[in-house]
Amino acid sequence: MNFITKRSLSRRTVLRGMGASLSLPLLDAMVPAATALAATAAKPVKRLGFVFMPMGADMTRWTPRSEDTLDELSPILESLAPVRDRVTAFTNLELQPAYPGSHATSNSAFLSAARAKLTESTDYFLGTTVDQVAAKAIGQETQLPSLELAMDLMQTVGQCDNGYACVYQNNLSWSSPTTPLPAEAHPRLVFEKLFGEGGSKSERQAALRKQASLLDFMRDDLARVRKELGPADREKIDDYLDSVREVERRIQRAESGVQENPEPDMDRPIGVPASYGEHARLMFDLQLLAMQGDVTRVTTFQLARETSNRTYPDAGVSEPHHPLSHHGNDPGKIERMSKINAFHVSLFAEYLEKLAATPEGEGTLLDHSLLLYGSGMGNPNLHDHTNLPVLVAGGASSGIQGNRHIRYENATPLANLHLTLLDRAGVRIDQFGDSDGMVSL
């Protein structure tokens, strides 16, 4: 640990133990002195998060009823009511680079705003995604420049959709036009990535078997830190450690509850919660812990892969998602698809509420985070990439207002929003993808 004068902690203070490390959230003691320079050095950092929803939405049930605000939320967006003042919805954003129109390009263009090379082989070519542009600029001071998460195992290879290699559907993030970044779907592996340090995987697992929790490794270091802190900071640390321990318990419960299944879900990793909802909540909570401890400032999360045949009993839908998305204008299929849309949004809404309830500096974690939620497809029945379902949340400390519905008379590039979010996060570039300007937030 690095201490600064006047009994202050460094913003980079890390608790350490046998094969484990834990960065602390922003504490009052991390402001070294009552000076403008010190306050600037310790103020909350800005973060960017991207959440991908597959296969578009029923836009009649998605589009907010109010012309300019979210005062009248649509059926799919109803769960956002508690945080509507932190959310902006967009109508008539498009992804021209995703045409001629496919599931593969819906996924690949969402964060790249680039046209994927049509190939079934390893000579794939796309573009650097917006999250990785941000990671190169604001992610270099953290343990992980970025964190890529998913809900499905991405093991399919070869050709997956209309002549496009599976790599385009499997990966949201690309650090270069030829370098896709695989996402992790197993909570245990994400947990170890965030809090593990040193040693081999087998050594860490052996150590964990000897002690009840990863946090036990840090008991001595934590005791020393607590002596340097006031009551308010001790409470913040205790709350943070309780959250870490609870996430670890949930992971352990999922692993201990694994049972032999004659018909396993081939897309779901072994040892994750059996319920999709609980799995997704766990992955969202891991993102919250990663941002709260400043382990990373850039995240991406794929709620399901394109062409996913998942069913959603949590939402009352027993039919696979992909066939429902090709609804042929059948009212019953559209309604069931919209239930899946609403369920996905509700999980995002829960995440926003947790971020809004997490104090940081003079605001909350949500105030200091810019989050984009959406899909690269509009009407999945047509495989179109116009009038995309897109939301932006958070960003109050970056001057972003909420409770807004922004409607464009003419189709507007999604890349304009990417360029704007980069700018608000302090990343200044002239153009991104097919952008032709900025968005007023």
- Size (the chain), residues: 441
The full set of domain ranges for the chain reads 1-43+190-271, 47-185+294-441
pLDDT computed for residue 1 by the predictor: 39
pLDDT computed for residue 354 by the predictor: 98
Assigned CATH class of 47-185+294-441: alpha beta
Q: In the chain, pLDDT over 70 holds for what percent of residues?
A: 87
Higher pLDDT, 204 or 220: 220
Higher pLDDT, 236 or 415: 415
pLDDT digits (tens, 9 = 90+) for 33-85: 544 444 444 567 899 999 999 999 999 999 999 999 999 999 999 999 999 99
- CA 281 to chain centroid, in Å, comes to 11
- Mean pLDDT value of segment 409-435: 97
pLDDT computed for residue 403 by the predictor: 98
Q: Do the Cβ atoms of 54 and 337 come closer than 8 Å?
A: no
Higher pLDDT, 46 or 262: 46
| 205 has a pLDDT exceeding 70 | no
pLDDT computed for residue 246 by the predictor: 93
3-state secondary structure the chain: CCEECCCEECCCCEEEECCEEEECCCCHHHCCCCCHHHHHHHCCCCEEEEEECCCCCCHHHHCCCCCCCCCCCCCCCHHHHHHHHHEEEEEEEECHHHCCCCHHHHHHHHHHCCCCCCCCCCCCCCCCCHHHHHHHHHCCCCCCCCEEEECCCCCCCCEEECCEECHHHHCCEEEECCEEECCECCHHHHHHHHHECCCCHHHHHHHHHHCCCHHHHHHHHHHHHHCCCCHHHHHHHHHHHHHHHHHHHHHHHHHHCCCCCCCCCCCCCCCCCCCHHHHHHHHHHHHHHHHHCCCCCEEEEECCCCCCCCCEHHHCECCCHHHHHCCCCCHHHHHHHHHHHHHHHHHHHHHHHHHHCCEECCEECCCCEEEEEECCCCCCCCCCCCCCCEEEEECHHHCCCCCEEEEEEEEEEHHHHHHHHHHHCCCCCCCCCCCCCCCCC
pLDDT computed for residue 101 by the predictor: 86
pTM exceeding 0.85: yes
Q: Of the candidates 297, 302, 24, 13, which has an alpha carbon nearest to the alpha carbon of residue 145?
A: 297
Phi, psi of 73, deg, nearest 5: -75, 145
